[in-house]
Structures are given as C-alpha cells and as structure tokens.
Amino acid sequence: MAIHTLQFRQVIKATPQQAWDFFSDPRNLPLITPPGLGFEILTKLTGRMYPGMMIQYRVRPLFGIPMNWLTEITHVREGEFFVDEQRVGPYALWHHEHHFKNAGDGQVEMLDSVTYVPPFGWLGELIHPFLIKPQLDRIFAHRTVAVSKLFPG
C-alpha cells in the first residue's frame, strides 16, 4: 500500500477574510468542482464548517458510476486552515488540508495538501499513474481556473 501526497498552491486576489468566507462554506464546492464529476452535496448545509461536521456527497468519478462520499471536517483554525477526511468513499485513505496565508498586497496564498491511498489495493496502485493521479491533477487544475475566475482581482 503506497501513500501518495499531492500539493497545489495558488495565489488569489482576495483579502484573507474573503478567501476564508468562501472556502469555509462547503456550499461553494460545486462552484470549483469539474462538472464532469457529477458532484452533488446530499447533506443539508447551513453555512460555515466546524470540527465534526459530516458532509455527504455523490460523485461520478469513473464512467458515470455514482459513488457516495462522506467527509468529516476534523480540524478548523479560523482564517488559517481546515482539514477534511474521507470516512466513506472511493479512496482507502483521504486526508485533505487547506491552508490560507496572507500574501500581502490584497492576496492570499492557498495550499492544498492531499494525502491519499488509492482504492482497490494493488489494482488501484497499478492504475494510479494512468487514471487516478491524472484525474486528481485535472480536478485541481479545474479548481485553479475556477478560483481565478471567482476572484479575478
């Protein structure tokens, strides 16, 4: 079982409060998720996340086949970072850290760090470089473009 880590960094034109307000509200996830994933939030959400918050989604990552995904918000440090971890879903392990740092001059540096183990044991590891990692790269590339459009400066 290999453990993989991906990091994605982006600087956006926003105040730290604007960035935090947007990203700490899980209702905004559909705005930065590729439409091809068929992403749906199934949990009735009321606003900002908090430690212990459980969020259920439906995604269609492979061939349009629906999969349920349940994440728990495990850590929140207001204005600085939050962590979501998969409890049920397609990965054997999923730990996603979202960090926000004031970059000065009306900008915020965002760092996403994802630690994961592909599903399906050795088979998942076999398809990882051809299917799983490229898909994650596409998802975060889409997110980078979407965030740039939402915060054009």
Going by their DSSP bridges, the two strands 107-117 and 4-13 should be labelled as antiparallel
Q: Which residues of 69-82 are buried (b: 16+ CB within 10 A; e: fewer)?
A: bebebbebeeeebb
Nearest CA to 62 among 1, 113, 11, 123?
123
User: What's the pTM value of the predicted model, to 2 decimals?
Assistant: 0.93
Domains, the chain, ordered by start? 4-150 (3.30.530.20)
- Quick: pLDDT tens for 18-62: 999 999 999 999 999 999 999 999 999 987 899 999 999 999 887
